[in-house]
Amino acid sequence: MILILAPNTRTDSEEFKRLEDFLRQMPNIRHRVHQEVGEQQLLTEVYLIGDTASLSVDEVSTLPTVERVVRISEEYRVLGRHQDDQRSTSFEYNGVRFGQDTLQVFAGLCAVNTREHVERMMQALRSHGQVCTRMGAYKPRTNPYSFQGHGKECLPYVFELAGKYGIKVIAMEITHEAHVDEIRAALQQTGNPTGVMLQIGTRNTQNFELLKYVGRQHEFPVLLKRGFGITLEESLNAAEYLASEGNRKVVFGLRGMKTNMGDPHRNFVDFAHVPVVKRLTRMPVCIDPSHSVGARDKAPDGLLDLMHATAQGVIAGANMILVDFHPDPSKALVDGPQALTLEELPYFLDDVGIAREAYEKRVKLAGRFKPGVFSV
Ligand code: PEP
Ligand code: MN
C-alpha cells in the first residue's frame, strides 16, 4: 500500500511524526519513506510493507498528511503503475525532461576513441539541435584482449567538449561503482559543464550490488538496459532495485534479446515491448536499434534495417533512442560496422520525426475511438 502525502509535507513536521507514530504501532507492517524533489514541489510517498491486506483504504486515508492511498500489487512497488494514473511518469534532469510522453535522441560514440572524434560528433549534434549524446568510456567486452575503453582518462575532455557544444546529458555506461565516483570527480574538476545519465548495460542488469549502489545516489539518473537472456519481469525487477534504494529517475532500455532466432540481426529486436513496459511501470522507455540490429544492411526499399527498427520503436511510443554514430566508422574502436555517419544524422532525425508524428496521430485516433460509434 502506498500513502501519497500532501505536497510539500516535511518529514520533520509534527503531523508527519504523528503519522509515523501511528504506523509504528501497527503489527507486522514496516514502512519506508520515499521523497521526490519535483519541478515545483516536494512529493512524499510512504510504502507500507507486510500484512496490509487487513487495512482499509478509507481508514488509512484519514491519517495525518495522507492525501491519497493506492493499493499495490507485489510487483514493482515503486516503479509500477498499480492502476493509478496520477503518479508521475516523468522526471527532469539538467533541464531535459524524460517522460512516457517525450522523445529524446542520444546519438553518439559507442566508445570514445579520440578527442577529435568526440568534438566532431558534438559539433554535428549541436548543428542539428541535439542536447543529448552517448559516449562510452568504460566498455564491457567479450574478449579480454579487446579495447576496454579509455576510462577516466577521457572524461575531462569529453565533459569540457560537451559544455562547449551545449550537450546537457551524456549517457555513459558504468561497470563498477568506482566509475560513478570517477565521473563525479571529473564533472567537478571541469566545473560541471554537462550532466551524465549512468548506463547499466545488459551484462550487468542483474548485478544487484551495483544496482543498489547506483540506486542509493540521487545525483545521476539511470538508463537500465534489459538483460539479454532473462525475462522482461526479471529486468523490470532489476529496475525496481534502483528505485527501492531511492532513485526513481530510471529509464528502461530495450536492446534486443540474444537468440539465434533473431538472425541475421545481432539480437532479436524487442521493441514490441515498448507499450508493455509503459503499461506495467512509470518508466520512460528507451530503444537501442544499434545493439539490436548490429549491422548496416539495407532492405530493398532503400532503408537500413537499423532505421526500420528505430521507426518501429518510435511508432510504438518509445521515449528515448540510444544510437551509435561515428565520424569515421572505419576507425571506430568498438562497433564500427553498426555506426551511422555524421552525414546520416539529419536524415536519421527526419526519419525519427516522421515516425514520432505518426505515433502522435495514432494516439489521437485511439482517443477518438469509441466502440460502436467509430468515426474519423
Ligand atoms: C552499449 O550501449 O554500448 C552496450 C554495450 O550495450 P548493451 O549493454 O545493450 O550491450
Ligand atoms: Mn556498442
Q: How far is the CA of 318 from the centre of ligand 2 (A)?
A: 20
Kindly state whether residue 127 falls inside one of the protein's structural domains. Answer: yes
Tell me, what's the pLDDT at 114? 97
Residues 288 and 187 in one domain: yes
Q: How far is the CA of 107 from the centre of ligand 2 (A)?
A: 12
Taking the C-alpha atoms of residue 16 and residue 5, their distance in angstroms, rounded to an integer, is 9
Cβ atoms of residues 73 and 82 within 8 Å: yes
Which burial class, exposed, middle or buried, applies to 356 when counting CB atoms under 10 A from its CB (0-12, 13-18, 19+)? middle
Residues 105 and 177 in one domain: yes
Kindly state whether residue 200 falls inside one of the protein's structural domains. Answer: yes
> 169: left (phi > 0), else alpha (psi -120 to 50), else beta?
beta
Tell me, what's the pLDDT at 36? 83
Three-state DSSP class for residue 199: strand
For the cut 80, the answer to whether the pLDDT of residue 372 exceeds it is no
Secondary structure (DSSP) of 241-294: HHHHTT---EEEEE--B--GGGTTSSSB--GGGHHHHHHHBS--EEE-HHHHH-
Residues 148 and 36 in one domain: no
Cβ atoms of residues 283 and 252 within 8 Å: yes
Kindly state whether residue 102 falls inside one of the protein's structural domains. Answer: yes
Which burial class, exposed, middle or buried, applies to 205 when counting CB atoms under 10 A from its CB (0-12, 13-18, 19+)? buried
The number of folded domains in the chain is 2
Residues 220 and 362 in one domain: yes
Q: How far is the CA of 251 from the centre of ligand 1 (A)?
A: 14
Cβ atoms of residues 253 and 289 within 8 Å: no
Return the CATH number at 57: 3.30.70
How much is the pTM?
0.93
Closest CA to 64 of 91, 90, 46: 46
Taking the C-alpha atoms of residue 163 and residue 193, their distance in angstroms, rounded to an integer, is 5
Residues 220 and 309 in one domain: yes
Of 21, 46, 73, which closes a domain?
Answer: 73
Average pLDDT over residues 59-78: 89
Closest CA to 197 of 189, 188, 187: 187
Kindly state whether residue 315 falls inside one of the protein's structural domains. Answer: yes
Residues 229 and 290 in one domain: yes
Which band of pLDDT confidence, cut at 50, 70 and 90, is reported for residue 110? very high
Kindly state whether residue 373 falls inside one of the protein's structural domains. Answer: no
Q: How far is the CA of 74 from the centre of ligand 2 (A)?
A: 35
Residues 332 and 255 in one domain: yes
Which band of pLDDT confidence, cut at 50, 70 and 90, is reported for residue 75? confident
Average pLDDT over residues 180-203: 98
- % of the chain residues with pLDDT over 70: 99
Tell me, what's the pLDDT at 197? 98
Cβ atoms of residues 136 and 106 within 8 Å: no
Which band of pLDDT confidence, cut at 50, 70 and 90, is reported for residue 297? very high
Residues 98 and 69 in one domain: no
Residues 215 and 300 in one domain: yes
Kindly state whether residue 19 falls inside one of the protein's structural domains. Answer: yes
Query: Pseudo-torsion of CA 178, 202, 275, 356, nearest 10°?
Result: 80
Taking the C-alpha atoms of residue 132 and residue 56, their distance in angstroms, rounded to an integer, is 46
Residues 51 and 186 in one domain: no
Residue-wise pLDDT for 331-366, tens only, equals 999 999 999 999 999 999 999 999 999 999 999 999
Question: Ligand 1 test: best mutation among 224, 268, 291, 306, most atoms within 8 Å of CB?
Answer: 291
Residues 69 and 124 in one domain: no
> What Cα–Cα distance (Å) separates residue 370 from each residue in 106, 149, 374?
37, 53, 6
Nearest CA to ligand 1 atom 4: 201
Grid cell in block for residue 52:
496490509
Of 73, 104, 119, which closes a domain?
Answer: 73
Kindly state whether residue 372 falls inside one of the protein's structural domains. Answer: no
Kindly state whether residue 375 falls inside one of the protein's structural domains. Answer: no
For the cut 60, the answer to whether the pLDDT of residue 374 exceeds it is no
Taking the C-alpha atoms of residue 215 and residue 368, their distance in angstroms, rounded to an integer, is 40
For the cut 70, the answer to whether the pLDDT of residue 226 exceeds it is yes
Residues 113 and 237 in one domain: yes
Residue-wise pLDDT for 246-275, tens only, equals 999 999 999 999 999 999 999 999 999 999
For the cut 90, the answer to whether the pLDDT of residue 100 exceeds it is yes
Ligand 1 atom nearest residue 334's Cα: 3
Q: Which domain holds residue 45?
A: 2-73
* Residue whose cell numbers read 565533459: 159
Cβ atoms of residues 338 and 293 within 8 Å: yes
Return the CATH number at 143: 3.20.20.70
Helices marked H in the chain: 14-24, 57-61, 115-127, 155-164, 177-189, 208-216, 232-244, 274-280, 289-293, 305-315, 345-368
Residues by chain with Cβ below 5 Å of ion ligand 2: 110, 335
